[in-house]
Amino acid sequence: MDKFLIEGGHSLKGEVKVKGAKNSALPILATTLLCEDEFTIENVPLLRDIFTIKKVLEVLGASVTLDGNKAIVDTRGAVGYEAPYELVKQMRASYYVLGPLLARVGRALVSLPGGCAIGTRPIDIHLRGLKKLKADISITHGYIDAYGNNLKGSHIFLEGQNGPSVGATINVMAAATLAKGVTVIEGAAMEPEVTDVANFLNKCGAKIKGQGTRSIEIRGVKKLHGCEYEIIPDRIEAGTLAVGAAISRGEIFLKGAKTEHLEEFISKLKEVGVDVFSEKDGFAVKMDKDIGSTDIETAPFPGFPTDMQAQFTALLCLSNGVSIVREKIFEERFMHVLELVRMGADIKRENDYVIIKGVPCLYGAKVMASDLRASAALVLAGLSASGTTEVGRIYHIDRGYENIEERLRNLGAHIWRQEE
């Protein structure tokens, strides 16, 4: 098991290209199962989760070749219907094969998912949507057992108690592409990754409109085909690197990043004193003043992304005031807080929010990552901390950031990977 050693006090400076969006790449690779053909997917990030979905597709009978950041997927021939526990437990997004398998072969046996321990993320919204398409679904022995030889379009309301579900929207949308008739998803997730998957499916011959809004219409077609497609840049990686520049008092250019995917986040950056400059092919971030305080509340897109909450919390630990961070999506997404306290942060948790009193500096310490975004927050804290920070269990960060230590070093960070 590897760990990171970070020597703080070195500003990030320079240019970095933002990799492809993990949360687009995973469902796009899964939805290639909808038809028998060959696909070329560009801008695929090389992450642990990508290698996991590759194994899932291969177990199901597809061929997947990774050539740099390009994936060539061949789904011609027989396709199985079981996604086993041994793979699904490694990554929650494995459930994205559920809708495509139902639509293509009329059967899916998918283990209940694993993933980051950040609280309850119920699968029931997915199942409710698929049942509305006339799928027959039961849960037995830890598996979702689904049949759907004659999927039919329906009017479906998908929003859950914490708002729209990205995963459920994508799963139901994928299954509906081959269902008979018209499906309308109300309460759909509006995240850029949902739009990206819809655009990919349309390039494969699907008839989807309304993506990026709360109402998506899918007109079922008889058959889809392969295509070439390029995945959008990862807004969460861009946001993480932007916070890295801010917390280290640096200046970087995020090549390829799209400001329209991060408007609320960028608004909060500016509120705490960060300068953000939009350019044609990305945006620049510069911080040369004291960090101000602010309050944030996570929300579905276009609100402040829950996947950026931990990283922004790390930044606010060094503010010159008091901030409140409220988490409205995942109830256990504060496990980074105790680790930040170990580094000298002044944070108090109250139910679904934390109160942060800014401190002049953080101190290097041994800390442990609990999930993907928490690990990123601890690395960012280490960039600014006095002394050396040791971050354990970094396999979490490898799930969502490609070669993060090498890319941070290229920007001036002093960070090394070491075997524990």
Which residues are tagged catalytic? 116
- Give kind and range of the element (H or E) at residue 86: helix 85-88
Within 8 A by CB and 6+ apart from 161, the residues are none
Separation between Cα atoms, residue 379 and residue 314, nearest integer Å = 9
**Helix (H), strand (E) at residue 24:** helix 22-31
The candidate with the shortest Cα–Cα distance to 318, out of 385, 391, 406, is: 385
Q: Which of 46, 45, 71, 43 is nearest to 57 (CA)?
A: 71
CB neighbourhood size of 415 (10 A)? 22
C-alpha distances out from residue 113 to 223, 398, 408, Å: 29, 19, 32
Q: 221-250 burial string, b = 16+ CB within 10 Å, else e?
A: eeebebbebebbbbbbbbbbbbbbbbbbbb
The tokens for 347 are 């944070």
Give the sign of the dihedral formed by CA 379, CA 291, CA 284, CA 295.
positive
Separation between Cα atoms, residue 263 and residue 384, nearest integer Å: 25
Q: CA angle, 113 as apex, 126 and 333 as ends, to 5°? A: 90
Q: Residue 120 has what DSSP assignment?
A: -
DSSP 175: H
